[in-house]
């Protein structure tokens, strides 16, 4: 199990978990525990370990217990010099310890609660070989003085000084490099973080590898991670301070390969940026938004997405105070069968655990209203080290014993039954815990007492054994499989965003948290208290300990509502009506008879986009005197129209491969053109504030719409409505006659609406259904409008400069925008959240996209094929000698036409 990965590095019986919390293991010496009884001397060989608050003897004979001697319980530690016995045989020098408590661990080599033996006792240890017994005694005496200091803060400071002195006197051994050609970049003192424990040492980073060398040689002399294997790195907040760095060599595992805690932020950042720059060509640094886009479009499972969010929110399996948190998703633990088609089977994901039971919530609210500021609803958290080990005690018993001073919890309070645990989370006065990733994994050992641990006897007389499963699970594997299926189910997929709002999002804190009954103790929130500002060291340590053990709320990742997942709709079918044979519980909604053509065209589009990297130029034509600004094509594809800054509209015959017509409406640039649905009229917008209608059959201008007070930048047309955008900071909506006759009159243009903006509007776009309009301004603001009411749905300031182009995805869920700041942004229409942001090497001027992939025209003149799900350029296709300024794509995506600053139009074709 990933949680125990660090323990697998060593076969030793000794573990850092035998130390007290925040205790260090400094050094070890081969030694003998010497006991004398009836004048007979007995020696037990083993390892004598010097730790910051205790001395530990780990015998080689596994039947012998490990001895732990707390230094605070020692009355005398002394050096007994060698002496001659009556037979003149020299006796070696020994360490003599007089103490009032000895702790016996792993007696008969069984993991069990520790046995504390109180009473004055003298222990003698003889170091083997040439070890300097006197030096070891001096160290023990120094640490003994620290342990006996009255104030905890003084104890901690003295031990820290001892540790720093040891680290300063040692350095990374470069003989450990795997290759003589390796070039070291930097090294510094760090601690390796594991669940409940830290191990000090030195980190060294070279041009090939990251190395960690523990000060004490435990669990091995050196740990190496090759940089080319690294897939993800995260800066971490450890002990409420920005000192952590976690390195992953896998994409979807939740346990890292190493977690390091630095002594200052500058060292952490230098190594982070060194690794990040090394990985630039190997991986992309993902954000919550980029993962969100992948999840929304079904490229990440719910499980994978929650893992990534936990990682981005500082949750780590190496830090039990910030362990990954997962939701309870099933509410039915009593039925014989689990019905995934019934919404009542599932937990309400819009509410925190504490608000799921109305009666309990009412009691909590009554207490909350009478509480002085700062008020909180829940006195305990949904994730803490105690709750994590509550679930994992059967596979991590030593962690539980470490956390609870050598004891297990009372048998009746342990994780005995899944149904009972859920019931207590619903009804218990102080139990509001969520789940951990293991409930949705593949390893069921945490539910089984495979180690035959003596976890106690319950009040009903039964021994604590395997976890009792719900009736609908035949065994632990079946339980995990059904639990995983529930997490990926239709219901959870449609509602998971609401739980994300509570735990990682905008309902995590502030007035939204109050409204959602999601208010925890102030100490659990990031920034809730600055421990460094507490002057009294004892108070500071006590406060930090309380925060770490009580539980911490994840770092807030989203400040506006999280978008819903895009899920296919399903009919709930349990049995075929014509027979008794069972049918799949979830079957896709049946397609209508006339949708076969729709399916065919959709399949063609998908195929075309998958093949877009193979786009080949057919011909290029220089038909303008300045940059091309717009392209429109007749329905049959025979004629291509283009506008240019040279103020002309030109018609190009695809069949004759030559331009046939040229029309100039004014002496100012034309900014765009579009073809009306009748196929007989081309509409052009101009910098002279006007819109011109050109009749193809008559070959002349039909009408002029003088609509704006500044240049008209772009237009859209849908169902007899013309939308015109202008640098005068407005969009105007006009009712027009769709059937263009030869005698247009100005009175046929009726102004329906005027949409005001704070800056010049540079680009607009309609969704395929014509129900939504998006506008992009010169100040970088994106606005989404409802075309039935002309009301603003979303307004997002997401670019630092002019927005060059924007368009809805085919499903209308997202808007993509490109700007003069060289950024590409994907905005969720429902919430207004920027769910993906890509910084390109160059400014993108125009594009077509299918929701996942984008064909862009860049400033360099190349066509770039972007994969938005991985934020990478998958193909670069040389096209124009200047910026690509216009791009048109056929309905089935098989033909592309581009125009550029080089005055050319290029025709492209996808190989069939």
Q: What is the pLDDT of residue 657?
A: 66
643 alpha-carbon distance from chain centroid: 45
Mean pLDDT of the 814-838 span: 93
CATH topology of domain 320-550: Neurobeachin; Chain: A, domain 1 (1.10.1540)
For residue 100, give both structure tokens.
Answer: 């009032």
Radius of gyration of the chain (CA): 35
SS3 of 679-716: the string is CCEEEEEECCCEEEEEECCCCEEEEEEECCCCCEEEEE
Residue 557 has φ and ψ, to the nearest 5°, of -100, -30
Q: Say if CB 863 and CB 898 are below 8 A apart.
A: yes
Q: How far apart are CA 732 and CA 787, in angstroms?
A: 12
Q: What is the pLDDT of residue 5?
A: 58
Q: What is the pLDDT of residue 588?
A: 35
Q: Which residues pair with 753 in a beta bridge?
A: 733
Residue 47 has φ and ψ, to the nearest 5°, of -120, 125
Which DSSP symbol is given to 870? T
Q: How far apart are CA 774 and CA 716, in angstroms?
A: 11
Q: What is the pLDDT of residue 180?
A: 87
Q: What is the pLDDT of residue 282?
A: 57
Residue ranges matching CATH 2.30.29.30 in the chain: 2-167, 170-285
Q: How far apart are CA 52 and CA 143, in angstroms?
A: 6
Q: What is the pLDDT of residue 11?
A: 61
CATH topology of domain 170-285: PH-domain like (2.30.29)
* pTM exceeds 0.75: yes
Pick the CATH number of 621-909 from 3.90.226.10, 2.130.10.10, 3.40.630.30, 2.40.40.20: 2.130.10.10
Q: What is the pLDDT of residue 586?
A: 33
Confidence of residue 359 (pLDDT cuts 50, 70, 90): very high
Instruction: Give yes or no for residue 539 having a pLDDT over 70.
Output: yes
Q: What is the pLDDT of residue 536?
A: 75
Average pLDDT for the chain? 89
Q: What is the pLDDT of residue 151?
A: 87
Integer distance in angstroms from the first to the last C-alpha of the chain? 49
Q: How far apart are CA 354 and CA 249, in angstroms?
A: 37
Report which secondary-structure segment, H or E, holds 886.
Answer: strand 884-889
Q: How far apart are CA 550 and CA 385, in angstroms?
A: 8
Q: Regarding beta strands 628-633 and 750-756, do their DSSP bridges make them parallel or antiparallel, or are they unpaired?
A: unpaired
Instruction: Give yes or no for residue 10 having a pLDDT over 70.
Output: no
The predicted-structure confidence for 853-892, as pLDDT tens digits, reads as follows 999 999 999 999 999 888 888 999 999 999 999 999 998 8
Q: How far apart are CA 320 and CA 79, in angstroms?
A: 40
Q: Say if CB 71 and CB 44 are below 8 A apart.
A: no
Mean pLDDT of the 593-610 span: 70
Residue ranges matching CATH 1.10.1540.10 in the chain: 320-550
For residue 29, give both structure tokens.
Answer: 């010496």
Mean pLDDT of the 88-96 span: 74
**For 304-324, b where at least 16 C-beta lie within 10 A, e where not — what string?**
bbbbbbbbbbbbbbbbbbbbb
SS3 of 339-359: the string is CCCCHHHECCCCCCHHHCCHH
Confidence of residue 603 (pLDDT cuts 50, 70, 90): confident
Q: Give percent above pLDDT 70 in the chain.
A: 91
CA torsion sign for 669, 675, 679, 683 is negative
Architecture of domain 2-167: Roll (2.30)
Residue of 415 and 92 predicted with greater confidence: 415
The predicted-structure confidence for 517-533, as pLDDT tens digits, reads as follows 999 988 888 876 766 67
For residue 742, give both structure tokens.
Answer: 């030869």
Residue ranges matching CATH 2.130.10.10 in the chain: 621-909
Residue 304 has φ and ψ, to the nearest 5°, of -65, -40
539 alpha-carbon distance from chain centroid: 34
Tally Cβ neighbours within 10 Å of residue 841. 11
Q: Give percent above pLDDT 90 in the chain.
A: 73
Q: Which residues pair with 838 in a beta bridge?
A: 824
Q: What is the pLDDT of residue 593?
A: 40
């Amino acid at each position: 199990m990933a949680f125990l990965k660090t323990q697998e590095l060593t076969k030793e019986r000794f573990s850092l978990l035998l130390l007290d919390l925040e205790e260090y293991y400094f050094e070890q010496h081969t030694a003998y525990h010497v006991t004398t009884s009836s004048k007979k001397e007995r020696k037990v060989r083993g390892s004598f370990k010097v730790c910051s608050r205790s001395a530990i003897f780990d015998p080689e004979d596994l039947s012998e217990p490990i001895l732990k001697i707390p230094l605070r319980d020692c009355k005398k530690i002394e050096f007994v010099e060698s002496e001659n016995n009556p037979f003149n045989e020299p006796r070696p020098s020994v360490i003599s310890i007089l103490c009032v408590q000895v702790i016996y661990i792993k007696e008969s080599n069984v993991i069990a609660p520790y046995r504390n033996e109180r009473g004055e006792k003298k222990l003698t240890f003889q170091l083997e070989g040439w070890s300097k017994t006197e030096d070891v005694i001096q160290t023990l005496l120094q640490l003994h003085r620290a342990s006996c200091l009255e104030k905890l803060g003084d104890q901690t400071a003295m031990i820290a000084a001892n540790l720093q002195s040891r680290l300063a006197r040692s350095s990374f051994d470069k003989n450990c490099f795997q290759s003589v050609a390796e070039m070291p970049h930097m090294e510094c003192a760090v601690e390796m973080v594991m669940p409940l424990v830290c191990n000090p040492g030195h980190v060294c980073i070279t041009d090939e590898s990251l190395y960690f060398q523990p000060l004490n040689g435990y669990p091995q002399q050196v740990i190496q991670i090759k940089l080319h294997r690294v897939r993800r790195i995260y800066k971490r907040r450890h002990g409420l301070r920005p000192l952590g760095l976690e390195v992953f060599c896998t994409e979807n595992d939740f346990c890292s390969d190493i977690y390091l805690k630095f002594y200052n932020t500058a060292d952490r950042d230098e190594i982070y940026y060194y690794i990040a720059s090394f990985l630039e060509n190997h991986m992309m640094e993902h954000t919550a938004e980029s993962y969100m886009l992948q999840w929304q479009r079904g490229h990440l499972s719910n499980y994978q997405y929650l893992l990534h969010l936990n990682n981005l929110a500082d949750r780590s399996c190496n830090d039990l105070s910030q362990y990954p948190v997962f939701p309870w998703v099933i509410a039915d633990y009593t039925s014989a069968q689990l019905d995934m088609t019934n919404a009542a089977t599932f937990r309400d994901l819009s509410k925190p655990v504490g608000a799921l039971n109305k009666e309990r919530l009412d009691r909590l609210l009554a207490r909350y209203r009478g509480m002085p500021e700062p008020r909180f609803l829940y006195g305990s958290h949904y994730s803490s080290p105690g709750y994590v080990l509550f679930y994992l005690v059967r596979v991590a018993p030593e962690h539980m014993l470490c956390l609870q001073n050598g004891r297990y919890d009372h048998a009746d309070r342990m994780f005995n039954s899944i149904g009972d645990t859920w019931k207590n989370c619903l009804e218990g006065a102080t139990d509001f815990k969520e789940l951990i990733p293991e409930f949705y994994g593949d390893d069921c050992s945490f539910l089984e007492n495979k180690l035959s641990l003596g976890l106690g006897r319950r009040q009903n007389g039964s021994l604590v054994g395997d976890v009792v499963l719900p009736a609908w699970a035949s065994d632990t594997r079946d339980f995990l499989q059904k639990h995983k299926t529930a997490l990926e189910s239709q219901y959870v997929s449609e509602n998971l965003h609401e739980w994300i709002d509570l735990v990682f999002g905008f309902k995590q804190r502030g007035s939204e948290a109050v409204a959602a009954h999601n208010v925890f103790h102030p100490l659990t929130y990031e920034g809730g208290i600055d421990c460094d500002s507490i002057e009294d060291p004892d108070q500071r340590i006590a406060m930090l300990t309380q925060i770490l053990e009580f539980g911490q709320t994840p770092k807030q990742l989203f400040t506006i509502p999280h978008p819903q997942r895009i899920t296919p709709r399903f009919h709930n079918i349990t049995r075929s009506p014509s027979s008794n044979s069972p049918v799949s519980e979830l079957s896709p909604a049946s397609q209508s008879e006339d949708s076969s053509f729709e399916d065919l065209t959709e399949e063609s589009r998908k195929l075309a986009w998958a093949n877009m990297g193979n786009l080949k130029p057919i011909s290029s034509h220089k038909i303008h005197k300045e940059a091309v600004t717009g392209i429109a094509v007749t329905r049959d594809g025979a004629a291509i129209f283009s506008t240019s800054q040279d103020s002309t509209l030109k018609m190009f015959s695809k069949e004759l491969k030559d331009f046939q017509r040229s029309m100039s409406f004014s002496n100012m640039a034309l900014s765009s053109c579009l073809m009306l649905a009748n196929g007989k009229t081309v509409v052009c917008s101009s910098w002279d504030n006007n819109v011109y209608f050109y009749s193809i059959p008559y070959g002349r201008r039909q009408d002029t719409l003088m609509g704006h007070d500044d240049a008209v930048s772009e237009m859209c047309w849908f169902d007899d409505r013309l939308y015109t955008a202008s640098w005068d900071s407005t969009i105007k909506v006009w009712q027009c006659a769709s059937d263009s006759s030869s005698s247009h009159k100005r009175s046929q243009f009726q102004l329906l609406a005027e949409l005001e903006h704070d800056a010049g509007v540079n680009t607009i776009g309609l969704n395929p259904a014509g129900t939504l309009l998006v506008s992009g301004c010169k100040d970088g603001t994106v606005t989404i409008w409802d075309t039935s009411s002309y009301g603003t749905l979303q307004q997002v300031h997401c670019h630092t400069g002019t927005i060059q182009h924007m368009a809805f995805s085919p499903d209308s869920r997202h808007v993509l925008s490109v700007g003069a700041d060289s950024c590409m942004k994907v905005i969720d229409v429902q919430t207004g959240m920027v769910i993906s942001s890509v910084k390109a090497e160059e400014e993108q001027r125009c594009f077509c996209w299918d929701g996942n992939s984008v064909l862009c025209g860049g400033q360099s003149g190349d066509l770039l094929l972007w994969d938005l799900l991985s934020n990478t350029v998958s193909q670069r296709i040389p096209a124009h000698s200047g910026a690509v300024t216009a791009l048109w794509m056929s309905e089935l995506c098989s033909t592309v036409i581009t125009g550029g600053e080089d005055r050319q139009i290029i025709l492209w074709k996808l190989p069939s």
